[in-house]
Structure 1
């Protein structure tokens, strides 16, 4: 897909028509991805670019924690240095602000489309515990099924808590273990029993079945949304 550099707004030629061309080409590619129901990684990129845009617009310091995990600390520091030079140059800043005025509503529209697609997929997810659920929910197994549910993707998951100066938030890591071809006699409960026999590292794991009721791409929509939805589900269980 046609990507947009992290510091597209401030690097290279600071010219309205040139930046407009870059942006429109990128947003056209974004729309094509959404049309295929491929939310990730494009949705995360959109959020990053929008936040960067808002930070420059409001002349505020960039905050590393607000950017997706895929941007490295070194890339961020380079972006921050460029930003500091830009805001000290009134003429260049005027050009930047003109680009921002054009770009902001376009990003807003694209983000709205992405959020609608995200919400649609999330509404059609069913999350249910498999077997007896232990008190500790932050580690265990996910049984993920895409529509029409002929296969079950088995993942090991681990939820971690991160803190920064402003907030505490949760993240989730997953590792794909195996793909199971489902039969009529293969229930989630029997799959869990089989998994416990084969793997001894988690004697009493929390296990959740996450089933999609609409057809969406596994890697680019279902899995990332299922992970975020499971974090919310587990958080409610613990409250």
Structure 2
């Protein structure tokens, strides 16, 4: 079970033991992933479910609105559909509340563990500019290096801006460029110059070295943490 359905609480059989089994199976997968230092997508998924259940706990009316409606009858001649709200069943509502009370501390414990691993790995990563940085930092290269390894992974990055009803957010879109062997004579400044010569798309790119003291899963951990660190670095210094 890679992810828990966003409507897992109210979809399907509403039974405490069944939902408990579903949640514990999911959390077992999360635990296994965290043991391998693979944080994503589970960490963001956990946060979503925890915050969702917390809101439902604090607002029972929201729980009713969250609940699916069941078609009780249909008038095909008039094309009218009559809905019967299952939330009128007090037994089902009590069952749901019991599931929520069981799930919240379980999700919180796993979320705390994930955040601790995140902070531990974040402390092992550093981001530093290579050469002079241009005024526009919204596009450039990320050079990933792990101590005691000669290979450097090169990614192009682009800052993206997206907006919700509440606020605007910045994100980082990346794609792989190439692997380059780092040698004593081939400095990071030289690598940057070679990238400029080879890829005309970015004539004056912002370029950053991302150094990791230890080896961690790249796609599931290093890259997601790097994106967050880079946004923080770029826009806290403006």
Cα deviation for residue 164 of structure 1 reads 2.2
Partner of 1:93: 93
Residue ranges of structure 2 left out of the alignment (5+ in a row): 71-84
Partner of 1:132: 132
Partner of 1:123: 123
Cα deviation for residue 61 of structure 1 reads 5.4
Cα deviation for residue 160 of structure 1 reads 1.9
Q: Name which of structure 1's ranges 203-212 and 46-55 shifts more when overlaid on structure 2.
A: 46-55
SS state at 1:142 partner: strand
Q: In structure 1, how many angstroms separate the alpha carbons of the residues matched to 2:141 and 2:118?
A: 23
Q: Is the 8 A contact 1:2 1:25 kept in 2?
A: no
Q: In structure 2, how many angstroms separate the alpha carbons of the residues matched to 1:31 and 1:189?
A: 41
Partner of 2:141: 141
Q: Is the 8 A contact 1:146 1:218 kept in 2?
A: no
Q: Name which of structure 1's ranges 157-166 and 87-96 shifts more when overlaid on structure 2.
A: 87-96
SS state at 2:179 partner: strand
| 1:232 and 2:218 matched | no
Q: In structure 2, how many angstroms separate the alpha carbons of the residues matched to 1:236 and 1:86?
A: 49
Partner of 2:107: 107
| 1:82 and 2:64 matched | no
1:207-237 CA-to-partner distances (Å, cap 9, x unmatched) read 1111111221111100111111111110122
Q: In structure 2, how many angstroms separate the alpha carbons of the residues matched to 1:61 and 1:204?
A: 51
SS state at 1:28 partner: helix
Q: In structure 1, how many angstroms separate the alpha carbons of the residues matched to 2:211 and 2:142?
A: 10
Partner of 1:27: 27
Q: Is the 8 A contact 1:124 1:212 kept in 2?
A: yes
Q: Is the 8 A contact 1:40 1:220 kept in 2?
A: yes
Cα deviation for residue 102 of structure 1 reads 0.5
Q: Is the 8 A contact 1:148 1:215 kept in 2?
A: no
| 1:57 and 2:43 matched | no
Partner of 2:74: none
1:132-171 to 2 correspondences below 5 Å = 132-171=132-171
In proportion to residue count, which structure has more strand? 2
RMSD: 2.2
1:103-133 CA-to-partner distances (Å, cap 9, x unmatched) read 1011110000010111111111111001100
TM-score (norm 2): 0.86
Partner of 2:186: 186
TM-score (norm 1): 0.85
Cα deviation for residue 5 of structure 1 reads 2.1
Residue ranges of structure 1 left out of the alignment (5+ in a row): 63-78
Shift in CA distance, 213/91, structure 1 to aligned 2, threshold 3 Å: same
